[in-house]
Chain A
Amino acid sequence: NAGVMQNPRHLVRRRGQEARLRCSPMKGHSHVYWYRQLPEEGLKFMVYLQKENIIDESGMPKERFSAEFPKEGPSILRIQQVVRGDSAAYFCASSPPRGTGGNQPQHFGDGTRLSIL
């Protein structure tokens, strides 16, 4: 499967623990986006990253949430000291570099469903 790979598919954490969500973009894609979907709501933009750079994190909560996309390896969305309200589906998307044909559709992974006990 050469698509966007997210793991784990399901993650259960207790309040106060840390959650790490991983995303490997499609081959040839250097742009990664993270979205959060709360029950009965649409996907909400969180952060946009390129390799080793955070381009836009305007959708990220100011505390406890961080994201990275290192030179090697997957992009990581980290949530520290999780609370019940963090329970949601977290989707990662990727796209090729801009300029390779203009705006390119984002391709989505299967998502990670995070449950906080």
Chain B
Amino acid sequence: AQSVSQHNHHVILSEAASLELGCNYSYGGTVNLFWYVQYPGQHLQLLLKYFSGDPLVKGIKGFEAEFIKSKFSFNLRKPSVQWSDTAEYFCAVSPQGTYKYIFGTGTRLKVLA
């Protein structure tokens, strides 16, 4: 069965620390990959997406993610987090040619000022 794993459920960092959130998926075919962020009390917003091409994807707010096909991973990174990055982050996978999104369970990031 297709699944997405986000191993870090809760992450606490100090401002200016570097961030890496893991995302692994299980699916044998070609996929589209997404990271969404949900700030407290708000809706999910698209941070970045990968469809094809350069496996290093840059998104909004200084976030980037790298697709490593051999590892079935799409980890999210940010070199220096800010207090305003406190939010929940969701990785999602969509088998190419389908509409279904399979979400991970999310990672709650808390950044201490």
Contact yes or no, A107 B106, CB < 8 A: no
- How far apart are A113's CB and chain B's nearest CB, in angstroms? 11
User: If the complex has contacts A42-B105, A103-B51, A103-B94, are A48 and B44 also in contact, measured as CB distance less than 8 A?
Assistant: no
Instruction: Give bound CA distance, A95 to B6, whole Å.
Output: 25
Residues 36-62 of chain A, each 1 if its beta carbon lies under 8 Å from chain B, else 0: 000011111100100000011000000
Contact yes or no, B44 A108, CB < 8 A: yes
Which residues on the A side are within 8 Å of B97 (C-beta)? 103
Which residues on the A side are within 8 Å of B90 (C-beta)? 42-43
Contact yes or no, B4 A42, CB < 8 A: yes
Contact of B103 among A31, A43, A95, A110 (CB under 8 A): A43
Which residues on the A side are within 8 Å of B105 (C-beta)? 40-42
Q: Which residues of B contact A (CB under 8 A)?
A: 4, 6, 9, 32, 34, 36, 42-46, 49, 51, 90, 92, 94, 96-97, 99-106
Q: Which residues of A contact B (CB under 8 A)?
A: 3-4, 31, 33, 35, 40-45, 48, 55-56, 91, 93, 95, 98, 102-103, 105-111
